[in-house]
Structure 1
């Protein structure tokens, strides 16, 4: 998915996503010069960051 779509899934702006995806450790793919995200990778990443209480 595109950065716009991934930002929407994560509930952040595209700018925040693009400024932070490497720092946050969000899995991404490079397709030529474009950054792309897989839906299952985003969901797995979010699930791994949920704090259990």
Structure 2
């Protein structure tokens, strides 16, 4: 049930305005350790991130597109 609430709130945010996730929020979204998010970035295997000054952010729309791409790739 908690996952459903989280996904609903993420979709609601995506509809209302651009949302940029912190690495902590991305780790929470995927329920992975924060270090995994940083490894994805170093290995260029995770969703695309960008810097705002010294702060790392992830565009929620790009993250959702990355998830869709991973889902499609996994089906083949």
Q: Same fold (TM over 0.5)?
A: yes
TM-score range with shorter-chain normalisation?
0.7 to 0.9
Query: Number of residues paired by the alignment?
Result: 53
Q: TM-score, normalised by structure 2?
A: 0.60
The structure that is helix-richer by fraction is 2
Larger radius of gyration: 2
Unaligned 5+ residue runs, structure 2?
A: 1-20
RMSD of aligned alpha carbons: 1.5
Runs of 4+ in 1 over 3 A off after TM superposition: none
Unaligned 5+ residue runs, structure 1?
A: none
Comparing both chains, which one has the higher relative contact order based on Cα–Cα distances under 8 Å and sequence gaps of 6 or more?
A: 1
